[in-house]
Amino acid sequence: MSFIGRALAILRKDLQAEWRTKERLSPMVFFTLLVLLVFNFSFELGGAALREIGPGVLWSSYVFASLLGLGRSFADEHENDALDALLLAPGDHGAIYLGKMVGNLVFLLAIELLSLPFFALFFNLSLGFFLVPLLAVFVLGSACLASVGTLFAAMSNNMRLRELLLPLLLLPMILPALISCVAATKIVLANGHFTELLPHMQMLGVYAVVFTVLSLMLFEYAIEE
């Protein structure tokens, strides 16, 4: 079976299991909504100030929610040592990374789409106007998070303090992408020009591609005991 075929099989398996258990999506969605709610009541903002702080709140909630999902992404494999069965299958182990990474991307996009109407409601925004560029920022930002997050989730999977290790590894590494995500979202919400947005989108695109390729190369070593 081809590399892509094996990655798709792993993706399908993960989506199928998640559809039944909702073990990852439920906590991620509730956490995101709770963060938005807390910030909504903590700050009484309006107008320009809202647009200043809103994107930071939004992406902070996504990054912390992603930690919940990423931490669980290898839990199924850990449970009955199923990871051994995956690693025993013939072919490049990078396919496991790709399947898991795309799965994490799907889950992140799902919580972003589900939380967006609540963000608009809490922060008094009309979404229709900037929905398309915002979705583009979401896709690239989530790809950055999923690319590096999946590798670190695999690395920390076998470790005793994995719940602690994953944020310690991920948060410093994701910082450059996070800065671009917040800046790009701010430009979109301020109805800025496309030329202002482009450098941030390029930065996110390059980050996602570089870390996906690097992770594909390093996954074999990351997953080793």
Partner 1 sequence: MDKDGEIVLTDAAKRFGAYTALHPTNLVISRGQAVLLVGANGAGKSTLLRLVAGLSRPSDGKVQINGHDLQDAPEARSAIGLLSHQTLLYDELTARENLRFFAQLYGLHNVQERLDEALAEARLDDRQHHRVSSFSRGMKQRLALARATLHRPSILLLDEPFTGLDTGSATALRQFLHLFRGNGGTCILVTHRLDEADGLVDRLLVLERGHLRLDQALSSDLDQLYAHCAPYLDSAL
What residues make contact with partner 1 under the rule CB under 8 A?
Answer: 1, 5-6, 9-10, 12-13, 16-17, 20-21, 76, 79-82, 84-93, 224-225
CB-wise, 76 or 196, nearer to partner 1? Answer: 76
The one-letter amino acid code at 150 reads T
CB-wise, 44 or 81, nearer to partner 1? Answer: 81
Tell me whether residue 155 is exposed, middle or buried, using C-beta atoms within 10 angstroms of its C-beta: 0 to 12, 13 to 18, 19 or more.
buried
CB-wise, 12 or 202, nearer to partner 1? Answer: 12
Closest CA to 108 of 152, 58, 155: 58
Nearest distance from C-beta of residue 199 to partner 1, angstroms: 40
CB-wise, 23 or 196, nearer to partner 1? Answer: 23
CB-wise, 89 or 113, nearer to partner 1? Answer: 89
Structure tokens at 130: 């900037």
Nearest distance from C-beta of residue 210 to partner 1, angstroms: 25
The contacts of residue 101 (CB under 8 Å, 6+ apart) are 146, 147, 150, 212, 215
Nearest distance from C-beta of residue 92 to partner 1, angstroms: 6
Nearest distance from C-beta of residue 91 to partner 1, angstroms: 6
Nearest distance from C-beta of residue 106 to partner 1, angstroms: 17
66 vs 149: CA distance, rounded Å: 8
Is the Cβ–Cβ distance between 138 and 109 less than 8 Å?
yes
Task: Give 182's Cβ-side CA count (13 Å radius).
Answer: 18
18 vs 103: CA distance, rounded Å: 10
